[in-house]
Amino acid sequence: MLHVISANRLYDGAVVYVGREAPWACRLDNAKVFTDKAELEAGLQSAQSDAKNSLVVEPCSVEVTQEAGVLQAVSLRERIRAQGPTIDFSRRTSRAIPDATGSGESSHDPEEESGLQNLIKESSLA
């Protein structure tokens, strides 16, 4: 049985996974896969430590499958956490109207939304 470890990032609540190449990754594709029970337990302990250090909240293990190198969560709940809502919540937002401030500024990182920024900077986790 394959598992990954997931949590929500403290400062914005984003879904994160213990990463293969960085402590935490924003995409399931970049999550570290645990095949061994002892290793999973150790990973959860480490994740709990990050929770105590106020980096993430509510770390937990998530059962996944891997086919042709693609990870997929087993439960619908976790698939929705990994991929976002199954509905198109943006379908009525196409009409371009200027930002109320006139600045066009948004608090959301466009790279993050497009999936390009898939790692939490290691410096923020030190």
Q: What is the C-alpha to C-alpha distance for residues 23 and 21, in angstroms, rounded to an integer?
A: 7
We find the least distance from the C-beta atom of residue 124 to other proteins, in angstroms, to be: 11
| Helical spans, DSSP H, in 1-126 | 37-52, 76-83, 110-113, 122-125
Helix or strand or coil: residue 9? strand
We find the least distance from the C-beta atom of residue 76 to other proteins, in angstroms, to be: 7
Looking at 85, 110, 114, 123, which residue binds other proteins (CB under 8 A)?
A: 85
| Region of 24-32, 38-46, 99-107, 115-123 interacting with other proteins (CB under 8 A) | 99-107
Structure tokens at 19: 């990463």
Task: Rank residues 69 and 99 by Cβ distance to other proteins and give the closer one.
Answer: 99
